């Protein structure tokens, strides 16, 4: 009984941690610009695919990972510079549609460059699973959780301790006021895209040994990440983490205890329920309209 429960929990927490990382990326850009960046899943794909192809060329894994993350960061900046920035005063909805276009474009390029096959990435450490009270834990799951935790702590520090982090927060709270105190909001926006691309690519790299990776892996994982962010309340960092973990665990429990057929249905009912009773999500900020 316990073994069974633990097994579902491990599965859920692992995949939930990935959702959380993706959700954080959504949150970051949403905070800085109120744009929901649907190209977030593509950063994930770039991270995984670039690492796989670089290691296949003989680059040592660590360097390949660094290069892949850098590539994603550059791509994040390019996305903001060449797709979002030129649309300057456009509506948020327009910007969201631009990100959808960008995601299709990136996916298309990836398909041309890397082909359509699925690729394998080696586990970071041993392939031997770890046994805990009769349940089995993939060693890569520990990497996912560990790196996820490190990233979350780093983000918290970044936003509370550094000037740039505070500038991003300030911009998210009030763009006009931020500009008045001398924050270059375009720069902040670019930074937000870069950091969120870095986050996405890290998520893509740590889960690739578990899920495999391919040019279209970003579609469904990106969508799940968005669901997680929405459950947590768009714009809330804690919400993204809690939303991601909750989504992952509910999915795994539903697959194990109810039926795998209803797994996705349960997950999506959850978002309906949450948004029905708490329209701003679990940790969503209360918005007061000032007249």
Partner 1 sequence: MLKTMIRRAGKCAVIAAAGLMMMSAQAAEPIKIGSFLSVTGPASFLGDPELKTLEMYVEKINEEGGVLGRQLELIHYDDVGNASSARNFASRLIRSDRVDIIVGGSTTGATMAAVPLIEQAQVPFISLAGAVVITTPVKKWVFKTPQSDRMAAERILTDMKDRGITRIGLISGTGGFGSSGRTQTLEVAEQMGMEILADVTYSGSDTDMTAQLTNIRNTKGVEAVLNFGFGQGPAIVTRNYAQLGMELPFYQSHGVASDSFLELAGSSAEGLRLPASPLLVPDSLPDDDPQKEVVQNYKAEYESRWDSKVSTFGAYAYDGLMLAVRAIEEAGSTDPEAVRNALENIKGYVGVTGEFNMSPEDHNGLDADSFRILEVQNGEWKLIN
Tell me how far CA of residue 26 lies from CA of 61, 88, 106, 253, in angstroms.
27, 20, 17, 25
Helix (H) or strand (E) holding 175: helix 175-180
Residue 40 binds partner 1 (CB under 8 A): no
* Stretch of 181-189, 213-221, 269-277, 280-288 contacting partner 1, by CB under 8 A: 213-221
Q: Is residue 101 within 8 Å of residue 28, measured between CB atoms?
A: no
Residue spans of alpha helices (H) in 115-138:
none
What character string, x for contact with partner 1 (CB under 8 A) and - otherwise, covers 130-149? ------x-x-----------
* Distance from C-alpha of 242 to C-alpha of 63, rounded to nearest angstrom: 32
Q: Which stretch binds partner 1 (CB under 8 A): 38-46, 189-197, 236-244, 255-263?
A: 255-263
Among 118, 177, 269, 273, binds partner 1 (CB under 8 A): 118
For 153-168, b where at least 16 C-beta lie within 10 A, e where not — what string? eebeeebeeeeebebb
Taking CB under 8 A as the rule, which mask of x and - marks residues 181-210 in contact with partner 1?
--------------------------x--x
Min CB(257)–partner 1 separation in Å: 9
Q: Does 80 bind partner 1 (CB under 8 A)?
A: no
From candidates 75, 98, 106, 255, binder to partner 1 by CB under 8 A: 255
Asked if 139 contacts 126 with a C-beta cutoff of 8 angstroms, the reply is yes
Contact between 4 and partner 1 per CB under 8 A: yes
List the structure tokens of 281: 């999500």
Could you say whether residue 263 binds partner 1 (CB under 8 A)?
yes
């Amino acid at each position: 009984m316990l073994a069974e429960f633990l097994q579902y929990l491990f599965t859920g927490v692992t995949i939930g941690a990935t959702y959380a990382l993706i959700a954080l990326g959504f949150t970051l850009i949403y905070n800085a610009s109120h744009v929901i960046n649907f190209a977030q899943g593509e950063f994930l794909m770039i991270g995984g695919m670039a690492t796989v192809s670089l290691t296949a060329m003989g680059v040592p894994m660590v360097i390949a990972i660094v290069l892949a993350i850098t590539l994603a960061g550059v791509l994040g900046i390019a996305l903001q510079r060449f797709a979002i920035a030129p649309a300057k005063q456009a509506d948020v909805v327009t910007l969201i549609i631009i990100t959808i276009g960008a995601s299709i474009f990136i996916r298309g390029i990836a398909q041309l460059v890397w082909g359509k096959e699925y690729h394998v990435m080696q586990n970071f450490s041993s392939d031997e699973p770890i046994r805990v009270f009769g349940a089995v834990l993939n060693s890569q799951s520990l990497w996912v959780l560990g790196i996820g935790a490190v990233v979350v702590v780093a983000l918290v520090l970044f936003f509370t301790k550094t000037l740039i982090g505070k500038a991003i927060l300030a911009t998210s709270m009030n763009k006009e006021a931020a500009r008045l105190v001398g924050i270059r909001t375009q720069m902040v926006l670019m930074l937000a895209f870069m950091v969120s691309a870095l986050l996405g690519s890290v998520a893509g790299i740590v889960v690739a040994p578990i899920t495999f990776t391919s040019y279209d892996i970003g579609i469904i994982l990106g969508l799940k990440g968005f669901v997680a962010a929405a459950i947590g309340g768009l714009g809330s960092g804690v919400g993204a983490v809690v939303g991601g973990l909750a989504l992952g665990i509910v999915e795994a429990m539903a697959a194990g205890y109810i039926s795998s057929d209803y797994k996705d249905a349960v997950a999506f009912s959850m978002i309906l329920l949450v948004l029905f009773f708490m329209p701003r999500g679990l940790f969503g900020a209360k918005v007061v309209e000032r007249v």
